[in-house]
Amino acid sequence: MKKLFLFIAMILPIGVFSQVRIQIGGSPDVKYEVIDTVAVRVFYETNSLRNPEKPESVEKDYQALEIGASGVSRYYSDNKRRQDSIMTEYFKNKADLSNIDLTNVLKDNGLSSSGTSLEVYKNYPAGKISVTDRIGMSDYLYEDDLNNIQWEILPDTKEILSYTCQKATTHFRGRQFEAWFAPDLPISNGPWKFSGLPGLILSVEDAAGHYTFQAIGIENQQYPILFPKKTYLKASRTEVDKVKRKFEEDPMGSILNSSPAGDIKIVVKDASGREMSADEIRNRNKNSYNPLELE
C-alpha cells in the first residue's frame, strides 16, 4: 500500500488534490546487486517540456550520474530518490494515512512532485545500456547499444564548473543536440544515454529547447552502485515507449484499467474536500507526450 500511495501521489499535479487514499496489497522487498563502486558522482539540473504547446509546462529535476571505477555507471533522478526516502520514513511514523496532505509533506522537505522513475545503467551488461522504468504498476527493462551516438566535435569552447569545455553536436533519434564536454575530465560519459566523447559531458540541450542537462556539481565518492533485482517486464525500446506514451497521456486511466478487480481502491478529493469521480480524475490528469527520443 505504501509504495503505491507514493506512486499515485507523484503522478497527480500539485494543487489538484488535498487528500489521496489508496488501499492495496503489499509487495515484496526489493533486493539489489552490486555492479560497481562509485568513483565520481555528477549532479545535473535538468529541464523538460512536457507539452510543446504550453511553454509553461517545464518540469525541473535534479539528476545524478554515478560513475564506477570499473566503467559501469548509473543515471537517475536524485529528486525522485529523495522523495522515496522521505515518504518511506513518513510512512514508518504515521499510522493513519487517510488524511495525508502530500503537498505539505513534500514542501516541508523542500521537494516538489517532479522526478522520473527512469534509470540508465551504462556498460551493464558489458557494451550495453540497461534502462529501467516504472510505468503504471509495472517495472520495465530494455537494453540499448552503448556509444551509438555519432558526434561532430567543433573548436568552440566555454567554461563550465571551472572546466574548459569543447562543443560537440549530434542528431540522435529525432532530435538535434548540442553538448559541451571537458577534455580535462577524460571520462567518456554524461547524462542520460549520452557518451562517446573524449571527456565528461557537462551540458546538453536539444535544438528545440525542450530538454536541457546542466552539470551543477562534481564530487569524488566511494560507495556501491546498486542494480535493483525486480521482476521486470522485458521488451524492446519501442515497445516500452508505446506503453509509456499510453500511460503519460492518461496516467490515472491506465492505473484504473490495469488493476485487477478488488486489488486496488483509490479515493481522490479535490481542494474543497469533494470526492472526485474516476472520469474527473482521468480528465484532470490527461497529458501530452513529448519524449526525449522521437524515433
Domain residue spans of the chain: 2-284
The pLDDT of residue 7 is 40
d(CA 159, CA 60): 23
Contacts of 62 (CB under 8 A, 6+ apart): 43, 44, 45, 46, 77, 78, 79, 216
d(CA 179, CA 158): 11
The pLDDT of residue 11 is 42
The pLDDT of residue 82 is 74
> Which cell goes with 92?
514508518
The CA-atom distances, in angstroms, between 202 and each of 46, 53, 102 are 12, 28, 34
Give the burial string for 219-241 (b: 16+ CB within 10 Å, else e). Answer: eeeeeebebeebeeeeeeeeebb
Predicted model pTM: 0.81
What count of other Cβ atoms lies within 10 Å of the Cβ of residue 79?
A: 20
- Could you read off the pLDDT tens digit of each residue along the chain, which spans 295 residues? 334 443 444 444 433 333 334 333 344 578 999 999 999 999 999 999 988 888 888 989 999 999 999 999 999 998 887 777 776 666 666 655 555 566 666 667 666 666 789 999 999 999 999 999 999 888 999 999 998 999 999 999 999 999 999 999 999 999 999 999 999 999 999 999 999 999 999 999 999 999 999 999 999 999 999 999 999 999 999 999 999 998 888 776 666 665 544 455 556 666 677 777 766 666 665 667 899 999 9
The pLDDT of residue 210 is 97
What count of other Cβ atoms lies within 10 Å of the Cβ of residue 33?
A: 11
The pLDDT of residue 170 is 98
The pLDDT of residue 276 is 72
